[in-house]
A and B are shown apart, each in its own frame.
Chain A
């Protein structure tokens, strides 16, 4: 593993840590900031790969990530946090219990999925020197972390952040695997933005989500 590989692995591990940071937060503003940091880190990975591969696509991708996710999505969500004190954080959440459950879920799912499906993949980029695909563990961790965040929490904001995290994982996954066509990159951004806009409308009416009798069965 050369120095560039080491830096990419290091930043990727920070991305995974940022996901765990978000999971451990109870205040909505902290989660949103965590998502911004995560997006910036993904953009940095895009710049490094772009520089190493001499590909402008990755630079465009990195700039788009910073503008759209780190700033725009952050701005939309921050603006929608209700001013009342009770809405500033997610109450009745057993953080330590969820965190433990999260760790178990992530370790098991990533281990199983990676060893069954992705361990045999040969990476085309410089990261795959010698056919090593272990870097794919990071986007997989991020993906399952996003899913767990959605499943374990009750507020609209947390669900949106979980979803953005999932989309972040897809971009990271695609960056490691291949230089994807710009059309797919654009679609992911459009998707995130549209979801955030719709969420902004829904969040005005409904802040938390609990089981409802009419929707059971």
Chain B
């Protein structure tokens, strides 16, 4: 085995191996393991495995780095967040064990060169993450967990039919072979269309998105950050790999557009901030789906830039939500005010992350959205362009209106007792800004 393969195996195995320390400080081992895994992934960028069991391209590397970064941040954040939970549905070591398995299954889905195994990986993410939702045990979280398990599992069975049809047509499930096969048939169109419903359930495509707001709002904040920041992009990556075989552009574009419209409308009347952020995730994922469907250098680069910036921005938003919940115990937007004096650091991270995920310039998401919409225009899809622009603006206004209301209305005494949690929120929400500035510099140099 050559070094590239060893590194690829290590990237997947390290989070699982950490679980050996289940009884002996799994908390610290998880953080050490996540850091080590990030280093190994960095090395793998230079020593890429050859196509065989693994299929790792530049875009795959981007997703792997995203997963590992948010995993590390969430692991550190969890060390403080879990301390404040009154009734735990699962034990603390079990929480870290599941978090590690959850990450390993995402990494497996990203790296493997087989559609069948990708499907197994996506199903494994459901199985490993389901019980994480009942960390903060309540009647609502149990119901959200159940909806997550049953809706996503039922949805992903459609993806399984898609996998069967791919094998039926091509006689192989190898991703690298299938992408280069150029087989055009009615069955392949059917397979790629079913994948949109199947994997789209996990991505948050309308109307099979219904598990998303429930799971995101009831999960502990570091898990919500993992869900929004990296789980949905991982499912989108798998969907993209299927889409590459037979691009059914019209169908994908319209599903993405309708989903953006639905997400923007739902976002407008949310009373709870975590549900509002969940719908924002749905909007961003479908925007990235639009970019992937549009394709070309504009659409695809835009989608990658959007996903990368969104993963950190949304993680920042959920960490900020975690801080608010921990320090105030309130979930409703209307119940929170005066954050700029009561929680100065959290209010900074909340504002930054809110601007980041709604695509304000000069955050990376803005440039991602700009490129995607340029791609839409380049294909002369004017109707889709106008619809998306209108509803993106509506989502931008409604979300930032709510967030600024929480921050600037009133004055309250400082209640921000912890330093690490707000620091992580700020750190995470600043990254999209750096991505945007970095992109601007690089883009200018290319021009």
Contacts and interface: CB of A to CB of B under 8 A. Distances in A.
A212 interface: yes
Contacts of A117: 190
Contacts of A206: 139, 142-143, 146
Contacts of B120: 183, 187, 190-191
A121 B157 contact: no
Contacts of A8: none
Given A120-B187, A198-B149, 20 more contacts: A121-B187, A163-B150, A163-B154, A167-B157, A170-B164, A180-B167, A181-B173, A184-B167, A188-B160, A191-B153, A194-B123, A194-B127, A195-B127, A195-B149, A198-B130, A201-B131, A202-B146, A214-B140, A214-B217, A215-B143
B144 interface: yes
A183 B269 contact: no
B13 interface: no
B161 interface: yes
A209 interface: yes
Contact of B116 (A143, A187, A190, A199): A187
A156 B160 CA distance: 23
23 contacts: A117-B190, A166-B157, A173-B161, A174-B164, A178-B167, A180-B164, A181-B116, A181-B173, A183-B116, A184-B116, A184-B160, A187-B117, A187-B120, A187-B123, A188-B160, A191-B120, A191-B127, A198-B149, A199-B149, A206-B146, A215-B147, A215-B213, A217-B270
A150 interface: yes
Nearest to B270: A217
Nearest to B120: A187
Nearest to B145: A202
Contacts of A199: 149
B68 to A, nearest CB: 24
A159 interface: yes
B186 interface: yes
A121 B189 CA distance: 13
Interface residues of A, number: 39
B143 A173 contact: no
Contacts of A174: 164
B168 interface: yes
Contacts of B272: 214
A11 interface: no
Given A177-B168, A184-B163, A198-B131, A156 B116 contact: no
B199 interface: no
Contacts of A190: 120
B346 to A, nearest CB: 23
Given A166-B154, A178-B164, A217-B270, A205 B142 contact: yes
A48 interface: no
Contacts of B130: 198
Contacts of A191: 120, 123, 127, 153
Interface string A141-158: 001001100100000100
B134 to A, nearest CB: 8
Nearest to A169: B157
Contacts of A121: 168, 187
A212 B145 CA distance: 13
Interface string B272-291: 10010000000000000000
A199 B131 CA distance: 10
Interface in B25-45: none
A167 B123 CA distance: 13
Contacts of B385: none
Given A178-B164, A198-B130, A217 B153 contact: no
